[in-house]
Amino acid sequence: MNPQIALPILIPLLAGSVSLVFWRSRSMQRFFAVAGTAGLLLTSLWLLTTVSRDGILVMHMGGWPAPFGISLVADLLGAIMVVLTGIIGFAVALFSLATVGRGHEAYGYFPLMHLLLAGVAGAFLTGDIFNLYVWFEVMLVASFALLILGSEKAQMEGAIKYVTLNLVSSVIFLVAVGLLYGMVGTLNMADIARRLATLEDNGMVDVLAMMFMVAFGIKAAAFPLFFWLPASYHTPPVAVSALFAGLLTKVGVYALFRVFTLIFHQSPGYTHEILLWGAGFTMLSGVLGAAAQFEFRRILSFHIVSQIGYMILGLALFTPLAIIGGVFYIMHHIIVKTNLFLVSGIIHRLRGTYQLKSLGGFYRSHPWLAVLFLIPALSLAGMPPLSGFFAKFIVIRAGIEAEAYGITFIALLVGLLTLYSMIKIWAEVFWKSTPPEGDVDPYPELNPREMWLMSAPVVGLALCTLFIGLNAEPIYALAEASAGQLLAPERYIEAVLGEAGEVMP
């Protein structure tokens, strides 16, 4: 028995329920926020070491053998994603201690955060397509509630768009699952893959593939389905923004990777061609949207969209190197993007605004903060030797090797425009002198403990970025191994259904 597969789901659920029990005790909730996410991080590391040593781990819930019961499956991609969930969860929990107000904590901020992490980890580890839907919903409901904590006007307006589009995506997903079940009579992803391979008629399979692409494309914020993201991500408290930015869209990307490598690889000429176009437009529209913005978190939100394009590009090219690049990009992006949102949170805490126009002079007043911003910002733009350079390098090299020159050109161009956006933030927030109104109303000084709690996660994530960049070889090997598993779905199927893959009645 391998308890480490279930633990990354159980620990956040348990921590969430315990925090609910201590509804009135602020200190206990804060303690369990840190303890629960630390536990999640440790068990996820345990899971990753086990998976990289022993190969794909499978756990059949309730002792029901696949394909009848629900299986939890941890392959390398799933395990890597859970580790990233742990890192982000822990960092955001620490950051929340200093930034989330008492009002938000009193309305269940921490239990919701645990529930969100449980949903995310569950989506990464399940091997059952309907169960994936259920975890998506767990994650969504928690994110809905987190998004509107505080009930400000902007939050309400953002939440209506976010809730509507995500519900539509869930319904499309549900319909696709229902039709898939009607076709193959099973819900276990490995069993679906095996049975679809024996089907003669590929037309209906392509239709289902498109439905899954739209459903996960909305969750992943891919072109032309991303409009909910820049409308809502800059409205909640910054810790919530950081958590969403790091994890939620990446669950959609993960689901795309899982479904289009395991189940729908029958006609890549059709589906992956559409993904390729989608990736190109996602990159371009995201980065151009960001160029027009002058609000810190909105710029970052649009950059989430453009970066999603690179990950989907890795999947769409569908060569071994491209998949490696996609996985590497996900690892790099989750850490860097969360970090940038956390930096924006510190700046907001110091000056009380996200508008670039009214910020300024931070290089003079807080030089350490400038360095902490520059590391993830340059990494996002793809400067060597930071993590983003290697991520972009692998994806672009894969594009050139696949002779997809048009999309490679777009990827390079978008890298340049990303640098432009980051330099814009740098020039406005750090370099230019403080605008006059910034001096008039100095924001209340931070006490050292608060400062420490806010900086520790930022420094930690920046160290992760540097670690990935300066120590890229083992990370690349990990991405290579997980891409190997993704491109050989028969290993996944064999691990879930057993050696023979016996035919069920």
Is 298 or 303 the residue whose CB approaches another protein more closely? 298
CA torsion angle 180 278 415 381 (round to 10): -30
Does 185 help bind another protein (rule: CB under 8 A)?
yes
Is 94 or 163 the residue whose CB approaches another protein more closely? 163
Shortest spacing between CB 235 and another protein, in angstroms: 6
Interface with another protein (CB under 8 A), residue from 141, 197, 419, 446? 141
Give bridge partners of residue 59 from the DSSP assignment.
72
Does 355 help bind another protein (rule: CB under 8 A)?
no
Does 240 help bind another protein (rule: CB under 8 A)?
no
Structure tokens at 75: 């392959």
Interface with another protein (CB under 8 A), residue from 137, 206, 401, 480? 137
Query: CA-CA distance, 153 to 296, in Å (whole number)?
Result: 19
Stretch that binds another protein, among 111-119, 168-176, 244-252, 365-373 (CB under 8 A): 168-176
Shortest spacing between CB 404 and another protein, in angstroms: 33
Interface with another protein (CB under 8 A), residue from 9, 59, 118, 177? 177
Interface with another protein (CB under 8 A), residue from 140, 225, 327, 404? 140
Interface with another protein (CB under 8 A), residue from 35, 42, 179, 487? 179
- Amino acid letter, residue 277: W
Q: Of 361, 244, 239, 348, which is closest to residue 295 (Cα–Cα)?
A: 348
Structure-token match 């950081």, residue found: 242
Please tell me the total number of residues recorded for the chain in this structure.
Answer: 505
Interface with another protein (CB under 8 A), residue from 28, 38, 42, 134? 134
Is 400 or 504 the residue whose CB approaches another protein more closely? 504
Phi-psi region of 186 (alpha: psi -120 to 50; beta: other; left: phi over 0): beta
DSSP per-residue codes, 385-450: TSHHHHHHHHHHHHHHHTT-HHHHHHHHHHHHHHHHHHHHHIIIIIISPPPHHHHHSPPPPPPHHH
Is 67 or 469 the residue whose CB approaches another protein more closely? 67
Q: CA dist 430 to 246, 281, 369, 381, 418, Å?
A: 24, 31, 9, 18, 17
Task: Tell me how many residues contact another protein (CB under 8 A).
Answer: 39
Q: Of 164, 179, 328, 177, which is closest to residue 257 (Cα–Cα)?
A: 328
Shortest spacing between CB 69 and another protein, in angstroms: 12
Does 156 help bind another protein (rule: CB under 8 A)?
yes
Structure-token match 């400067």, residue found: 383
Query: CA-CA distance, 64 to 336, in Å (whole number)?
Result: 40
Does 174 help bind another protein (rule: CB under 8 A)?
yes
Query: CA-CA distance, 76 to 483, in Å (whole number)?
Result: 9
Is 184 or 372 the residue whose CB approaches another protein more closely? 184
Answer yes or no: are the C-beta atoms of 327 and 77 closer than 8 Å. Answer: yes
Shortest spacing between CB 157 and another protein, in angstroms: 4
Does 158 help bind another protein (rule: CB under 8 A)?
yes
Give me the phi and psi of 295, to 5 degrees please. -125, 130
Answer yes or no: are the C-beta atoms of 108 and 20 closer than 8 Å. Answer: yes
Does 62 help bind another protein (rule: CB under 8 A)?
no
Is 251 or 472 the residue whose CB approaches another protein more closely? 251
Is 229 or 331 the residue whose CB approaches another protein more closely? 229
Does 402 help bind another protein (rule: CB under 8 A)?
no
Stretch that binds another protein, among 135-143, 267-275, 341-349, 460-468 (CB under 8 A): 135-143
Tell whether the torsion through CA atoms of 167, 170, 176 and 181 is positive or negative: negative
Interface with another protein (CB under 8 A), residue from 48, 231, 276, 481? 231
Residues engaged in binding another protein (CB under 8 A)? 130, 134, 137, 140-141, 144-145, 148, 151-154, 156-161, 163-164, 167-168, 170-171, 174-175, 177-179, 181-182, 185, 187, 230-232, 234-235, 505
